[in-house]
Amino acid sequence: MSATALLDQWEEHLAIAQRRSPHTVRAYLATAERFLLALDLAEWKQVADVRTRDLRGHLAQRRMEDGIGNLSAARELSALKTFIAYALEQVGAQPGTGPRLRGPRVKKGVPRPVTPDEAINLAEVVEETAGSEWTGKRDVAVLLLMYGAGLRIAEALSLKANDLPLGETLVVTGKGNKQRVVPLIPVVRDAVAAYAKACPHSLQAGGSLFRGARGGPLSQGMVQKAMARARKALGLPATATPHALRHSFATHLLGSGADLRSLQELLGHASLGSTQIYTQVDAAKMLQAYRSAHPRANN
């Protein structure tokens, strides 16, 4: 076998068996390739035999030579543990016998949501600055699925033509192939319907709902570029990304009284801990309001 053969098998497992997103597949492949080359590994048995000191040494070298920080190191460690666990399966080894190494502490940042007015303005500018009428309607539909339904960008772009016409709810397949049901408000359904009507490409059952200019599946990069143009036109910070719309969805629901458990289900988080970060956003907003309104706040 060869390192290339290992990577090909790993890619197939990630993309088909685990149905990981294209972004995750690329990241995990790059991490595994660096690891194989650094340790000169070309057999599953060699990968399965990797010890904790080998893993620690590789990550230390990445820090010294490439200057990666705690967040990148934690992501690489997670990807490598998954890779090694797969290698253990391939050689019939006992699960859980791989290297035991704790990742670096990573301080979770507080998401920076956009305001409701900013979300509306972004959608309007995205449509106005699009290259054509139908691509403008397409980009608006994608953004509203994130802001109005809390979808990840990959989840929105994974929708199929046979999901049409959208009803009051939508079954979404998220991370880890986990399905959830999300409600769709009329403005979101109307935006998707307007795009589907204007799209010049045939939206056949089983094919992607959102299409690029030439008819292929729409890429995340095109949505990100549309958002970048709009935020620049509006003078918004670089944090106003497509994913910030999902943060806004969560923050605004929490601020309107939604409970954490319901929010967890709507966002498709595996654990409540991932959802609790939005309580920090709400608390920060309350503290800011207090400091600006209370006569003694700054004394």
Just list the catalytic residues.
152, 175, 243, 246, 269, 278
Rounded to whole angstroms, how far apart are CA atoms 70 and 51?
21
Rounded to whole angstroms, how far apart are CA atoms 250 and 260?
10
Q: How far apart are the first and last CA of the chain?
A: 70
Question: Bridge partners of 180?
Answer: 172
Contact of 208 with 160, CB cutoff 8 Å:
yes
Rounded to whole angstroms, how far apart are CA atoms 29 and 17?
15
Rounded to whole angstroms, how far apart are CA atoms 6 and 41?
10
Q: Please say whether the dihedral angle defined by the alpha carbons of residues 190, 196, 197 and 198, taken in this order, is positive or negative.
A: positive
Contact of 82 with 14, CB cutoff 8 Å:
no
Nearest to 35 by CA among 16, 20, 56: 56
Rounded to whole angstroms, how far apart are CA atoms 48 and 55?
12
